[in-house]
Structure 1
Amino acid sequence: MSLVPMTQILRDHVTDGGRLTHDNGLFLLGEVERLQALLNRPEVDDFIKGVPLEAAHQVERWSVQHDAGKSPLDWFWLIGYLAQKAAAAAIGGDLDKAKHHTISTAAALANWHAQLAGGDNRMRPGIDPATVEGAA
């Protein structure tokens, strides 16, 4: 199932006057719930599909409100911690959890890469949103 941009969904479901009807509002609420369910469901079988989903989930869960911004060593320790969780789960025979933690480790690396590249760096737990340019 492909994700339709929310702006297109809004265009398709507002009245000509630019107002939402009750039915359209209910549709949009359902669409938001569907997208949240997709984002908050860990993918364990498809690594390539799972990494960007998990990276987005991490950004939403650990955004700027959580704690201080990460230094390179903070990223190193987070990645080591997540990799250790994957190893422990694999040793314990919980392969689904091990696969999830390999994906969450890769997603943390993707978020670190985004921060290094100057891209989406909302995955910086704890920085006061008022101090981040462009933060809402």
Structure 2
Amino acid sequence: MSDRQKPSVLFVCVHNAGRSQMGAAFLTHLAGDRIEVRSAGSAPADRVNPAVVEAMAEVGIDITAETPKALTTGSVQASDVVITMGCGDACPVFPGKTYLDWRLEDPAGQGLAAIRLIRDEIRARVEGLVAELTAEDRQTP
């Protein structure tokens, strides 16, 4: 990653219908245009989990227009940080990338109360990620 290029993060889960969508939405919400954000799934669903959409709306983030996207080699190659959330070995590994495996419960089939807990855990992790990835920006005079 060059000094002029903003960092790029890819969130990956199996269906790209829950965890990775929440991660990408929180990162976009919290970092604005300081970080490039992508999400994908190793076996994308037809739509984002409606209960996940509802849980995110509760915290003021609208993801109704989001659609699950397929994980591609290109999306991994274009990212500086790849955060996996239960996609197993489906994510290709390339040298020079930072890989983080966030072990989080799958919201599929869960009720709203359980999804809120997953959402809040993702938000806390994303807040830490934003602080880490933007630390260089704050140190530059």
Normalization by structure 1: what TM-score? 0.27
* Structure in which a larger fraction of residues adopt strand: 2
Instruction: Please tell me whether Structure 1 or Structure 2 has the larger radius of gyration of its CA atoms.
Output: 1
* Structure in which a larger fraction of residues adopt helix: 1
